[in-house]
Structure formats: C-alpha cells, structure tokens
Amino acid sequence: MKSFQNLALVLVVVLLMAAPAMAQSSGGETSLLGTSKYAIGLGVALTIIGAAFGFGKIGAAALDGMARQPEVAGDIRGAMIVIAALLEGATFFGLLICLLTLFVG
C-alpha cells in the first residue's frame, strides 16, 4: 500500500510540473477545452487502473470475509455485487467524460 501511495504522489507531482509546459501554444492537435489528446488518454488509463485496483480490493475483501464466515457468504456476495456495480458505473462515467472530450472537440 505504501508503494501505491508513493506512486500516486510521484504521478501528481509530475502532472503538476507538466501543467505549465502544456499551457504553451504548440499548434498541436487539441480537442474540446484545449485539452491535449495525450492528456485524455492518460485520463482514460488512470480510470481503468483505478477501477482494476478497486475490483481487486473488493474481491480480496469478499473472499476473506467468506473464508472467515462461510455461513454469511450469500450476504457478502450480494454486497460485493452491489459495490462492484457502483464502481463500474463510476468507471463508465469517467470513461464517458474522457471520450466525449476526445471526440466532441
């Protein structure tokens, strides 16, 4: 978990340092709101990575709970499916925003 936090911190620092460089007008291809297509691709990638991490945590916690208390496995499975559906909805919303920004512009 510590390495994931360090990786997230490094990513935030890199993105903050790249903001002034991306503000320069290079005459390159941009989409709606002046966003670079590379930045939109990065947004899609981060959305997918975050969803994969979330699904992994949900599955690990559910299997751990089922192993500890097999008699409530049905309740845990139902809760896991609801949480996974909510996570998937949030992921699709993030992808939709990134793809609309990419293709509308």
Query: What's the N-to-C CA distance of the chain in angstroms?
Result: 38
pLDDT at 102 over 90: no
The range of the structural domain enclosing residue 80 comes to 41-105
Instruction: Classify burial at 40, counting beta carbons within 10 Å of its beta carbon; exposed 0-12, middle 13-18, buried 19 or more.
Output: buried
pLDDT at 34 over 90: no
Q: What is the mean pLDDT of residues 6-13?
A: 79
For 40-96, the pLDDT digits (tens) are 778 788 888 888 898 999 999 999 999 999 999 999 999 999 988 988 888 888 888
52 in a structural domain: yes
State the pTM of this model: 0.59
- What CATH code is carried by the domain that includes residue 64? 1.20.20.10
**What is the predicted pLDDT for the residue at 66?**
92
Q: What domain count does the chain have?
A: 1
11 in a structural domain: no
